[in-house]
Amino acid sequence: MSNPTLLAIDQGTTSSRAILFSQIGEVIDVRQKELQLYFPHKGWVEQRPEDIWSDTRNCCTQILNNMEQKPVAVGITNQRETTIVWDRKTGEPVYNAIVWQDRRTAEQCNTLKKQGHEQTIANKTGLLLDPYFSATKIAWILDNVPNARARADAGELAFGTVDCYLLWKLTNGEVHATDTTNASRTMLYNIVEQRWDEALLALFNIPYSLLPEVKDNIASFGVTDKHILGAEIPIGGMAGDQQAALIGQGCFKPGMVKSTYGTGCFALMNIGPVFKPSQHRLLTTVAYRVDGQITYAVEGSIFTAGAAIQWLRDGLGFFDDARESEALATSVSDSNEVYFVPAFTGLGAPYWCPDAKAMIMGLSRESTQAHIVRAALEAQAYQTLDLMGAMQADGGHIPDIIRADGGLVANKFMCQFLADMLGISIEVPKVTETTAWGAAALAGVQVGVFSGLEDIAKSWEADKCYKPQMKASKRDRLYAGWKKAVGMLTKEERGQ
């Protein structure tokens, strides 16, 4: 076929999108719908699965209806860990989607930690005991939705992360499957033995019957139902958003790092085929599995990155558009010792304080909106530096280059400050839609548009490169201020 196209579904925390790519990664068409988040109680974050599905479907059909020659394959990428439980017969969700940021199960996680389960869990899943992952969210639904546990025990319910729910819907209930990267974020999947772990299922009190089949990232996931999307297109690739970005950034060699700055910030380093749990509170996770061959990544997950900018926009009304943050930040020469620790949904790696709250420190009568905005952008670099420190302490070598992406990299000030603080070059790729491209490219391999991962790597090209310019002494002084601010939060949480 001449000029085959690939369709990516990119279901993120803040929006659902469909993106049509050419075989060299050019965006031909894109449709997007913002997704509503609900905060029914303090620390709770939910979405309506019906919105996730109908928005995704509409985005896809808007693209497909305009096309004569349909895409040759569909790839799916998604916000990870977000948990949906639905009825196998009707497809009706039994509860809202519990979003990855939700902290309602923090107490249960603390209890399990006190009982000494954390190390076993880390050894099997690479994860830490935190409400972030799906396991305690699933248990919460089963224990709190009337009749849900009985229905689950009777085999009537299905669990899935968003990828799995969308696949079910796209195939009209034919396929209940996920991929290894999404499975690796549930805290129920043993990433060493690559299977659902019965001891963990027992620990979290979750019946096996809820779980989907786990496939490679490049696989035959099914075919879109023609009554659903108006065409039968093979679904050939799937990966959680951060792993899809790693793939879209072509980080296939051990030691290569990508860092994505969207709602949260996620830095992943490819560590090759050998599982190694972190000793410094990072996560070990599946990077990808192709032809049954697994590659692991070490991951630093920061819960709040762009969400802090959103809060300045929506919560404080500092500006109408996130893009205005750059002009405000550069209207002052520094943050005037203002530090913004954006722990709105707790602190993730490497601190893992689920109950920490956000803090702005160092305000004086001279402080202005500009200083606070600048501090929010600078926080992205400090948080990344915290992660790099933990990666180094784990014995990982520090890369010379980080490949960065996500909505925030449009902010040149943020990128330059990042390069300055890390002392590492920051490369931003030409294909800025790396997450969606990763999913599309995986599907492309499945249908033969690409011959394999190396072929995907060849499609990567740098657009901008930010080189470090700041003096080490200044960097150290700024970072010491951050450490002091973040230290206050972690100490408070420990009750010191």
Per the listing, tokens 């050998």 go with 274
One of 226, 323, 471, 484 touching ligand ADP (CB under 6 A): 323
Stretch that binds ligand ADP, among 21-29, 122-130, 143-151, 317-325 (CB under 6 A): 317-325
Taking CB under 6 A as the rule, which mask of x and - marks residues 256-285 in contact with ligand ADP? ------xx----------------------
- Asked if 369 is part of the footprint of ligand ADP (rule: CB under 6 A), the reply reads no
In the bound state with ligand ADP, the residue whose beta carbon lies nearer, of 309 and 424, is: 309
Angular region, 458: left φ>0, alpha ψ -120 to 50, beta rest: alpha
Q: What is the DSSP string of 24-40?
A: TS-EEEEEEEE---B--
From residue 304, alpha-carbon distances to 39, 311, 317, 450 in Å are 16, 10, 18, 35
In the bound state with ligand ADP, the residue whose beta carbon lies nearer, of 212 and 342, is: 342
- Asked if 411 is part of the footprint of ligand ADP (rule: CB under 6 A), the reply reads yes
Largest CA distance in the chain: 66
- Asked if 325 is part of the footprint of ligand ADP (rule: CB under 6 A), the reply reads yes
Total residues at the site for ligand ADP (CB under 6 A)?
Answer: 19
Answer yes or no: are the C-beta atoms of 231 and 164 closer than 8 Å: no
Phi, psi of 407 (to 5 degrees): -50, -35
One of 5, 11, 13, 184 touching ligand ADP (CB under 6 A): 13
Helix then strand count (H, E) for the chain reads 17, 23
Residue 33 CB, nearest approach to ligand ADP (Å): 12
- Asked if 306 is part of the footprint of ligand ADP (rule: CB under 6 A), the reply reads yes
Residues 6+ apart with CB under 8 A from 392: 398
In the bound state with ligand ADP, the residue whose beta carbon lies nearer, of 171 and 325, is: 325
One of 164, 233, 271, 408 touching ligand ADP (CB under 6 A): 408
In the bound state with ligand ADP, the residue whose beta carbon lies nearer, of 145 and 360, is: 360
Residue 471 CB, nearest approach to ligand ADP (Å): 26
**CA–CA distance, 390 with 384 (Å, rounded to integer):** 10
- Asked if 342 is part of the footprint of ligand ADP (rule: CB under 6 A), the reply reads no
Per the listing, tokens 């969210």 go with 137
Site for ligand ADP in 198-237 (CB under 6 A): none
DSSP state of 353: B
Residue 14 CB, nearest approach to ligand ADP (Å): 4
Say how many C-beta atoms besides its own lie within 10 A of residue 1's C-beta: 8
Residue 491 CB, nearest approach to ligand ADP (Å): 28
In the bound state with ligand ADP, the residue whose beta carbon lies nearer, of 148 and 312, is: 312
- Asked if 240 is part of the footprint of ligand ADP (rule: CB under 6 A), the reply reads no
Helix, strand, coil share of the chain (percent; to 5): 35, 25, 40
Answer yes or no: are the C-beta atoms of 404 and 398 closer than 8 Å: no
Taking CB under 6 A as the rule, which mask of x and - marks residues 425-464 in contact with ligand ADP? ----------------------------------------
Phi, psi of 252 (to 5 degrees): -100, -5
In the bound state with ligand ADP, the residue whose beta carbon lies nearer, of 341 and 408, is: 408
**CA–CA distance, 452 with 349 (Å, rounded to integer):** 32
Residue 305 CB, nearest approach to ligand ADP (Å): 7
Q: By the criterion CB under 6 A, which residues form the site for ligand ADP?
A: 12-15, 262-263, 306-307, 309-310, 322-323, 325-326, 406-408, 410-411
